[in-house]
Amino acid sequence: MNVSVLANTLIGSEIIKIGNEVNELKSKGANIANLTIGDFDPSIFPVPSALKEEIVKAYHQNHTNYPPADGILALRETIVDVLKDRYDLDYKATEILVSGGSRPLIYATYLALIDPGDKVVYPAPSWNNNHYCHLSSANGVAVETTAETNFMPTAALLKPHIKGATLLALCSPLNPTGTMFTTAQLEEICDMVIEENKTRAEGEKPLYIMYDQIYSLLTFGKEHINPVSLRPELKDYTIYIDGISKCLAATGVRVGWGFGPAQVIAKMKALLTHIGAWAPKAEQVAVAHYFGDKNLVDQFLTSFKEQVQLSLDALYNGFQEMKADGLAVDAIVPMGAIYLTLKIDYLGKTTPSGDLIKDSTDLNSYLINEAQAALVPFSCFGTDEHTPWFRASVGGCSLEGITEMIPRIKSALSKLK
Ligand SMILES: Cc1ncc(COP(=O)(O)O)c(C=O)c1O
């Protein structure tokens, strides 16, 4: 096709391919437990009703013109207060940038920091860093993690790759695993970045951290930690990604924010101005009011997290029971986000119709067809496709749907020889 090399070489979303497979079966009447997309079914997980009312009110008040390029001041001031109150972080309104969900901020972070060929280091599995590397012509280095560290990267794993790198992309709670950094793990990574930056010459770009904490308010009994709270000197080098998409089940409302060093944020703002990736003004006005009311937000979070955790626990317990019954499966205790890490160790087996399950994609298709259960193999997040690990997202499936799915998975796996 006569389009740019960039457009021609875009990597299609593997998750959307699985979604299409699910939709095709659904259109034939199959009742699939869809644990694929990192989204919420609004009939199961609606946005807070008070937020919805604020959005409607803001439209009635005619907040329908362009918002300021960095976001309305009232929202940035609310964020300043939230950062202080919830994370003990001191940021000024000028160090915050609002956009239409958090994706544009990730893209802007890459564009603001990366020159073609610059090295970006990120863990695999992780979400979409390969795509942002492609879009920014970065030299992406995916560092594979293992179950031994709950699939979180460690300083020891990252160290061989950070010499000369421009960006280290981190996320906790992590999509796709639902696992989180321990304090010791993140401290060691922070110290490694500080040490690396001491070796950089005057005028050379430092090693920056992009810290995606979009799931930070969705944790289950574990404390969320972040680089600047642990090591304040990292403030000049850390760009945070955050927003309401996940913590308020508001993926379609499109309000995200980033914060970091004022000069980097100013460049990200300039880049996003040309893209026009602002959050709609009425939504900004609504979130400024709603998110500033800590009691309301906490009330919502308490019941929302309880509901998410019930689903994650049901899935986790179901897999532990299958394991106890002798099936080659496992699961990692849910810590945060809306995801569970599942091990389904059946690669190399043969289906009743004689097909070899050669990789995790084959096993996923088998489970979709045979157990009406749709997961996402970790290979969609950058790991080798011969590893038997999968992401289950509970946002699009009812608790009942999850409970009913477990015996179907058990029966399907028992048929593999
Ligand atoms: C780790 C992570 N960061 C960012 C995003 C994007 O969020 P948004 O919908 O606000 O663009 C996602 C969405 O799945 C995510 O998992």
Strand partners, 341: 391
The pLDDT, as a whole number, for residue 185 is 98
The pLDDT, as a whole number, for residue 411 is 98
Note if the pTM is more than 0.95.
yes
Per CATH, which fold does 5-45+298-414 belong to?
Aspartate Aminotransferase, domain 1 (3.90.1150)
Per-domain boundaries in the chain: 5-45+298-414, 49-293
Q: Is 172 in the pocket of ligand 1 (CB under 6 A)?
A: no
Q: Is the pLDDT of residue 1 over 80?
A: no
The pLDDT, as a whole number, for residue 191 is 98
Q: Is 287 in the pocket of ligand 1 (CB under 6 A)?
A: no
CA-closest residue to ligand 1 atom 14: 38
pLDDT digits (tens, 9 = 90+) for 221-277: 999 999 999 999 999 999 999 999 999 999 999 999 999 999 999 999 999 999 999
Q: Is 395 in the pocket of ligand 1 (CB under 6 A)?
A: no
The pLDDT, as a whole number, for residue 357 is 98
- Tell me the three state secondary structure of residue 261: coil
CB 122 within 8 A of CB 134: no
Task: For residue 211, give every residue at least 6 positions away whose Cβ sits within 8 Å of its Cβ, in sequence order, or none.
Answer: 170, 171, 172, 226, 227, 238, 239, 240, 241
172-176 average pLDDT score: 98
Q: Do domains 5-45+298-414 and 49-293 have the same CATH topology?
A: no
pLDDT digits (tens, 9 = 90+) for 350-385: 999 999 999 999 999 999 999 999 999 999 999 999
Joined together, the tokens standing for residue 170 give 């981190």
**Distance from the CA of 102 to the center of ligand 1, in angstroms?**
6
CB 355 within 8 A of CB 362: yes
- The full DSSP string for 198-250 is HTSPTTS---EEEEE-TTTT-BSSS----HHHH-GGGGGGEEEEEESTTTTT-
Joined together, the tokens standing for residue 165 give 């790198």
Percent of the chain with pLDDT over 90: 95
Please identify, in words, the CATH class of the domain defined by 49-293: alpha beta
CA-closest residue to ligand 1 atom 13: 38
Of residues 12 and 404, more confidence is placed in 404
Q: Which of 82, 142, 95, 116 is nearest to 5 (CA)?
A: 116
pLDDT digits (tens, 9 = 90+) for 98-132: 999 999 999 999 999 999 999 999 999 999 999 99
**Distance from the CA of 13 to the center of ligand 1, in angstroms?**
14
